[in-house]
Amino acid sequence: MAAIDNALADLQAAIGTEVGVANWITVDQKMIDTFAEVTHDDQWIHVDPERAARETPFGGTIAHGFLTLSLASRFAYDCFPVLPGQVMGINYGFNKLRFLSPVKAGARVRGRFVLQEVTKRNATDLLRTNVMTIEIEGQETPALVAEWLGLAVFEKG
């Protein structure tokens, strides 16, 4: 049996289970400022701590939603080991994505993944669908919930 078929069988047996919880990452003001600079999104709620403390209900700056989402790749490294015969993983997009709670500067976040579906697309590719929740330490409402698609690409034959 090919490596991809073994992986498919193993993953199908894990559907509906939590496949990983990532390590915590602190989203500090330096990270927010760097993201703002790289993306040219310097809205004051992200980069002006004094004004954000004065004029928002958050008590200070908050991370960009897309910054929080961009941490998903790091969280995936923590949670998805390379499968036997797999040569790479590729981000394939999202079916659903909702930002539920802002991430305040200084907060810690982590990803949590539940395998929802896996299909064999061809001789080298498995398409995995995971529900990813990015949690904020100490808060009941997560920062975001997404249905994330990823390809596990295997060596030929």
What digits encode the pLDDT tens for the residues 18-72?
999 999 999 999 999 999 999 999 999 999 999 999 999 999 999 999 999 999 9
Which residues 6+ apart lie within 8 Å of 16 measured at CB?
Answer: 114, 115, 116
For residue 115, is it within any domain? yes
Phi, psi (deg, nearest 5) at residue 4: -65, -35
Percentage of residues in the chain with pLDDT exceeding 90?
96
For residue 48, is it within any domain? no
**Total number of domains in the chain:** 1
Cα 112 vs. chain centroid, distance in angstroms? 8
The pLDDT assigned to 1 comes to 56
For residue 113, is it within any domain? yes
For residue 90, is it within any domain? yes
H/E stretch holding 127 reads strand 125-136
What is the domain range of residue 99?
3-28+64-154
Residue 157, pLDDT above cutoff 70:
no
For residue 42, is it within any domain? no
CATH number at residue 107: 3.10.129.10
User: What six digits make up the tokens of 157?
Assistant: 């034959």
Spatial separation of the C-alpha atoms in residues 97 and 91, rounded to whole Å: 14
For residue 133, is it within any domain? yes
